[in-house]
Amino acid sequence: MFKISEIRELIKLVDSTSIHRLEIENENGKIRISKQDGIASAAAAAPAAAAPAAPAPQAAAAEAPQVPAPQPASAAAAAKDEGLHRIVSPMVGTFYAAPAPNAPPYVKPGDHVNEKTIVCIVEAMKLMNEIEAEVSGQIVEVLVENGQLVEYGQPLFLVKR
């Protein structure tokens, strides 16, 4: 099962973003967090081998349809980004531009990167996940601030190929 401190941290994370539903499953169990009317609630289940026959009472409430958050986009921003590759966050977490507080950032505008170049770290549940560029090109713009909470799929960098 998940520790209560992990569940609380996940609920705070979902509560502070526009995410409406988050599901995580691992060998220790499964947790589903959904937000309805601006309030996050969680339902946890034991691992499949030890799962009870009846679903958790809150699990049914968590089955509400997931509505993606609207992404604001202006015509000027779309024209500016045209032809540029976006490096996006693969998870919800905290964006860090450098490996340590006093270290220089991994990349800055004007830097050339390749597929394996580490561009940032996204911290999720106390795990530091190094994010690679996955494309070759030049960093045009860093779209988020150091220490900012980022969402799954949120653009972090623009790269000119």
CB burial of residue 14 (10 Å; 0-12, 13-18, 19+) = buried
Q: What is the band of 50 on the pLDDT scale with cuts at 50, 70, 90?
A: very low
**Are 135 and 159 contacting, i.e. CB atoms less than 8 angstroms apart?**
yes
Q: Where are the beta strands (DSSP E) in 8-151?
A: 21-26, 29-36, 39-45, 84-88, 93-96, 112-113, 118-124, 127-132, 137-142, 149-150
pLDDT at 39 over 60: no
Rg (CA), the chain: 18
What domains can you pick out in the chain, each with its CATH number?
A: 4-63 (no CATH), 75-160 (2.40.50.100)
pLDDT at 153 over 70: yes
**Are 29 and 15 contacting, i.e. CB atoms less than 8 angstroms apart?**
no
**What is the DSSP pairing of strand 155-160 with strand 84-88?**
antiparallel
pTM over 0.95: no
Contacts for 57 with CB less than 8 Å, ≥ 6 apart: 43
Q: In this predicted structure, what is the pLDDT of residue 151?
A: 94
Q: What is the band of 23 on the pLDDT scale with cuts at 50, 70, 90?
A: confident
- For residue range 82-117, list pLDDT tens digits in order: 789 999 999 999 999 999 999 999 999 999 999 999
